[in-house]
Structure 1
């Protein structure tokens, strides 16, 4: 599939936007988005022309609006629950080509973040940036003990610009929803809020450092995976110092090395998702290297996903059901993954899964796609306005990237076979939780204390002669609840009386009038409606 060439934006972000520049930026954003909507109305509405894809046009608009909106498009490309595959593909291809900021600014940011001159922290600091991106750029350096490191420095003004842009975008979305109420069903304001929260997470390098440390601790000493650790005391929201590592890119590896690397990569993701509940969310080929000793090195932990206990159990069921090609089980597991939306109809997903199972039966095992299965189920959910939790969306994208990276390494490698081998390793077994450990402990205590407790209670009952008497000891919460219930019942009776009296006054036209309406009836209705809202707010 060909895609029209788009202009590449070169963005220089400075300090905090002024009020005047924010107004100018709001005008620019509003005009760009309005122009896109007019273009859609003209081509798709009046001209009935489908030769230009709206997704490509939207991607061009985001590209021209700069770094924040390029990142917005990349985030939206995750939303398989609201966007068709061609739109996701168009947005995922967005790139922000930004010039490195000057080395003087880099040094200034480092010294401001670490609170001392860089010469007191590093024995060497390379002024030439190793790589530059929309959020940060990377410089090589060396610590006084000779340890080679990389210094990731957040672009000056990037966080402030992103915050301003997202605030403007949210206001525009609210205005659009006010003008076109049907847009509210898409939950655009909630999507903007979610993207803004993701921006804040990515902009805070101390959070990324915490993720790196968690992964490094989980894989420390592994014979298959290596995670370059962060350096203690040298990580802040704007600067992160990490051990330097390098290895071979995935292109052109010897066949045996590539197959082994594919197996280690898949095994590591099985462990990350099902054992650790915390996974690297961006396994594209640029973030994966093969070390000289054969270990896989993962980089860039700006995007991570989490799997809680309920989601883990549903994922285990989904993976096993998919391997077993059990359509009914696949649907049940899918619905257990925490879909967001009212009235989810199971019957919608059953034919999709049956068609998927029938298609897989005609393909070799190496061509089965777990991410493809998830994508088809997500697409089926779009007809019901079903929304997916963020971590499930991140997981779907991660599996898609993982499959692409594995196919680059070893086209004949079967991910499904690699996953199915883990059914005997125990990684899919339910981990022993704190609750399961507590139950035997509490039962043991109860078994030890129960005889003496029963004896003392029986002795007390016999002394007081109330063996067959029952007593209820209401607590403060119970009494308060009864009191609130009584007040609500009384208010409900008064409200009912007001509705009846006002209706009678309205019917007979008693008292002074305002226009054609009896004033006393209107006042009665107003009081009754006010009391109704009071009763509704006091529930629970």
Structure 2
């Protein structure tokens, strides 16, 4: 990464300078960033720190200002981080939500250059006409109305020139800094910086590939058409992608006219039933999460239009979430546990989501979940706000070092956003009440004969793979045994303690053997001398002298052995 730092040194200094100017210098110093980059804190405009402190800005406000000052990449990063209620407090997440994905429009000449570069022909040969005035300009792209040669009116989304290179530079710098924090500081054990960095990179790079956004739209349309009821299938939609006019940097879709879902007065004038609209929106997002396992990850009011016929159009499908079958079931158990105020079920669901699978104190965690749910015992289920509650549960899990997958925290953010929209449309509509039947159905479906058959089929596939892979592995092992081409190593824990224990045993055994030997010798001398001496007084005196000498020698040997054993302190 040293070469990377030399190449982008000015941007490194700019990023660190903006963070320092907004009052994050002490944090950077604690992380060791200044030493890592060989920067001096004092050279990075400390006067602005005092200005920020005097203005008494909150941490969230200063973090939002930093993202705005650092440009499009950090605006997107701030928006993505606002979806992590498990890490950031509601105040900080709320400030990051205020980051507007808007920017000054870039010149129409640049729009022409991008289109002609992508299609390899003059812009007039691609589109019959295109409005020079953009409908909207964002950090990554801007949108123009245009006409196809067939006469159809479309919307053309054009990527901002040079934005991809700038984002790749910023991501490279952030990966370098995150790698330092994870590998060389204790903070890496507290937060999943690497996981957050991977999520940021994946999300940003996906949003830069307009073909992926188009593919997401097609997948949503297929899922919508598979809804169980005709009303649900016809009640939601996405703009049709015109693939002939779409590339990595240009996205062309049908033009959709409608009312933003938070424009209550306009909805009233159009005669749209707001309560029915709120229920339909909740039902479809619940279906996206629990049934499809593929959901819109940023359903804010700007991305939701209501057509004249009441259909809900989902726009801007660059940011999506995806769940496996297992995670859908775990999430359903979590929702059912919350609805039933069952702390054990909630705890089991959270632990099943843990990406690290480390041992945690489940009893303590369950007690804290129990206390959290107790606060909702006096509240009817119809009044429980599901999004904030899940965010609190995820925060609690994080404090217990349980790592929640990024897509799950994304769901918490989606539910919080959805809660805000439905409250404006109809405060009586409750997300948990709508979600509970579908979650229960998904759990019951896991015990159906069809699902059990699918599980058996998947298990049979695993067994087949095991049977295929086991023989060559076993054969290779046996060949190594035959050729003596193997090493056997034992890793004994606390080997020093084991060795000391054996030393004590051997010393005691030696001591016992010496005592036994001396006793036998002395006994033999006594018996032998008694038999040989008979009634001769001179032999008796000689035997007595020999006996005394033997006892003295034995005593000396025993004392010496005792001293040597106690010197080693292993007795």
TM-score range, shorter chain: 0.7 to 0.9
Match of 1:412 in 2: 428
- Note if contact 2:332-2:440 (Cα within 8 Å) is conserved in structure 1: no
1:327 to partner: Cα distance? 2.2
User: Is 2:181 the counterpart of 1:181?
Assistant: no
Structure 1 position 340, deviation (Å): 3.5
Of residues 103, 113, 117, the one that matches 2:122 is 117
Q: What is the Cα deviation at residue 248 of structure 1?
A: 1.9
Alignment partners' CA distance in 2, 1:243 and 1:227:
9
TM superposition shift of 1:426: 6.6
Structure 1: unaligned runs, 5 residues or longer: 1-17, 444-471, 501-540
What is the CA–CA distance in structure 2 between the aligned matches of 1:83 and 1:192, rounded to whole Å?
15
Larger % of helix: which? 2
- Could you tell me how far 1:208 is from its partner in structure 2? 0.9
Q: 1:34 to 1:341 in 2, by over 3 A?
A: farther
Change in CA separation of 1:161 and 1:417 when aligned onto 2, cut-off 3 Å: same
Which residue in the other structure is 1:436 paired with? 454
**RMSD after superposition:** 3.6
Note the C-alpha offset of 1:492. Answer: 9.2
CA distance in 2 between partners of 1:212 and 1:168 (Å): 32
Tell whether 2:55 aligns with 1:37. no
> Could you tell me how far apart the structure 1 residues matched to 2:389 and 2:195 are?
27
Work out the CA distance in 2 between the residues paired with 1:39 and 1:266: 44
TM-score, normalised relative to structure 2? 0.70
Shift of 1:104: 1.2
Counterparts of 1:47-58 in structure 2 under 5 Å?
A: 52-58=57-63
- Give the Cα separation in 2 of the matches to 1:95 and 1:484: 68
Quick one: structure 1 residues 357 and 168, their matched pair in 2 at CA, closer, same or farther if it must change by over 3 Å? closer
Aligned match of 2:255 in 244, 258, 274?
244
Q: 2:330 aligns with which of 287, 299, 314?
A: 314
Equivalenced residues, count: 446
Give the structure 2 partner of residue 172 of structure 1.
177
Contact preservation (8 Å) 1:63, 1:96: no
Q: Deviations over 1:453-509 (max 9, x none)?
A: xxxxxxxxxxxxxxxxxxx9995234246469962128999xx9xxx9xxxxxxxxx
Query: Offset of 1:108 from its aligned partner?
Result: 1.4
Q: Quote the Cα distance in structure 2 between the aligned partners of 1:480 and 1:49.
A: 75
- 8 Å CA contact 1:258–1:409 kept in 2: the answer is yes
Partner residue, 2:112: 107
CA distance in 1, matches of 2:342, 2:128: 60
Superimposed CA distance per residue, residues 94-116 of structure 1 (whole angstroms, 9 cap, x where no aligned partner): 23541111111112111211232
Contact (CA 8 Å) 2:351, 2:402: kept in 1 or not? no
Larger radius of gyration: 2
Aligned mates of 2:136, 2:290 — CA distance in 1: 33
Is the counterpart of residue 226 in structure 1 residue 237 in structure 2?
A: yes
Provide the C-alpha distance between the structure 2 equivalents of 1:208 and 1:418, rounded to a whole number of angstroms.
29
Worse overlay, 203-212 or 430-439: 430-439
Distance, in Å, in 2 between the alignment partners of 1:428 and 1:477 is 45
Change in CA separation of 1:419 and 1:428 when aligned onto 2, cut-off 3 Å: farther
Contact map agreement 2:181 2:188 (CA 8 A) in 1? no
Structure 1 residue 233: deviation in Å? 2.3
Aligned mates of 2:452, 2:147 — CA distance in 1:
44
1:369 deviates by 1.7
Structure 1 residues 157 and 360, CA, compared in 2 at 3 Å: closer, same or farther? same
Matches of 2:361 and 2:55, distance apart in 1: 32
Runs of 5+ unmatched residues, structure 2: 30-45, 462-470, 500-571
Find the partner of 2:294 among 261, 275, 278.
278
What TM-score do the two structures reach when normalised by structure 1?
A: 0.74
Question: Cα 1:104–1:332, aligned 2, differ >3 Å: closer, same or farther?
Answer: same
In 2, distance between residues paired with 1:473 and 1:302?
Answer: 45
Q: What's the offset of the Cα at 1:338?
A: 3.6
| 1:377 to partner: Cα distance | 1.1
Matched, 1:206 2:211: yes
Task: Check the 8 A contact 2:192/2:403 in 1, yes or no.
Answer: no
> Is the contact between residue 335 and residue 439 of structure 2 (CA under 8 Å) also seen in structure 1?
no
The one of 162, 166, 170 equivalent to 1:161 is 166
Change in Cα spacing, 1:24 to 1:417, as seen in structure 2 (3 Å) is: same
Structure 1 residue aligned with 2:488 = 489
Alpha-carbon separation, structure 2, partners of 1:428 and 1:143 = 49
- Contact 1:140–1:150, Cα closer than 8 Å, also in 2: yes
CA–CA separation in structure 2 for the residues paired with 1:274 and 1:102? 43
Query: Match for residue 393 of structure 2?
Result: 377
CA contact (8 A) 1:81 1:387 kept: no
1:331 corresponds in structure 2 to 347
1:5-41 Cα distance to aligned partner (Å, 9 max, x none): xxxxxxxxxxxxx999833222211323345433568
Q: Distance in 1 between matches of 2:459 and 2:485?
A: 43
Q: Which stretch shifts more, 255-264 or 293-302? A: 255-264
- Tell me the alpha carbon deviations over residues 261-315 of structure 1, each in whole angstroms, 9 at most, x when there is no partner: 1111111112211221111111111111221112211111111111101101111
Task: Work out whether 1:266 is the aligned partner of 2:270.
Answer: no
Distance of 1:485 and 1:358 partners within structure 2: 64
Alpha-carbon contact 1:340-1:389 (below 8 Å) kept: no
What are the residue-to-residue correspondences of 1:6-17 with 2, within 5 Å?
none
The correspondence for 1:134, drawn from 131, 136, 139, is 139
**More displaced stretch, 156-165 vs 54-63:** 54-63
Aligned twin of 1:467: none
Distance 1:125 1:196 in 2: 33
Aligned counterpart, 2:8: 22
CA deviation vs aligned residue, 1:69-120 (integer Å, no higher than 9, x gap): 1212222222233322222222222235411111111121112112322222
- 2:37 is aligned to none
Bigger drift between 186-195 and 280-289 goes to 186-195
Q: Could you tell me which residue of structure 1 aligns to residue 476 of structure 2?
A: 477
Deviations 1:328-362 (A, max 9, x none): 22222222234446223323432343234333332
Equivalent pair of 1:321/1:330 in contact (CA under 8 Å): yes
